[in-house]
Amino acid sequence: MAQLKPFLLALVMAILTVASAQVSEAPSPSPDAGAGFSAGVSTAAVGFSLIVSLIAFFKH
């Protein structure tokens, strides 16, 4: 059993060394300018709906 501990320690260290030496992947390309989310409804409609929903929730 005493001879097994150094072997296991060396094995774990070798695995961790190999795992940390992996080549990192290339970074993802940057997004195009102006390719953001396009809202289908206006902010005023969403805000109004949120306010009406909160009023209904608190009156209940």
What string of DSSP letters covers 28-45?
PPPPPTT-----SS-HHH
Percent above pLDDT 90 for the chain:
2
Number of domains in the chain: 1
Q: Is the pTM of this model over 0.85?
A: no
pLDDT score recorded for residue 33: 64
Q: Name the residue with higher pLDDT: 33 or 1.
A: 33
Range of the domain at 55: 3-59
What type of residue sits at position 39? Answer: A
Spatial distance between the Cα atoms of 34 and 38, rounded to a whole number of angstroms: 10
Spatial distance between the Cα atoms of 16 and 22, rounded to a whole number of angstroms: 10
The radius of gyration of the chain's CA atoms, rounded to the nearest angstrom, is 29
The pLDDT of 23-42, averaged and rounded, is 65
pLDDT of 36 higher than 70: no
Percent above pLDDT 70 for the chain:
57
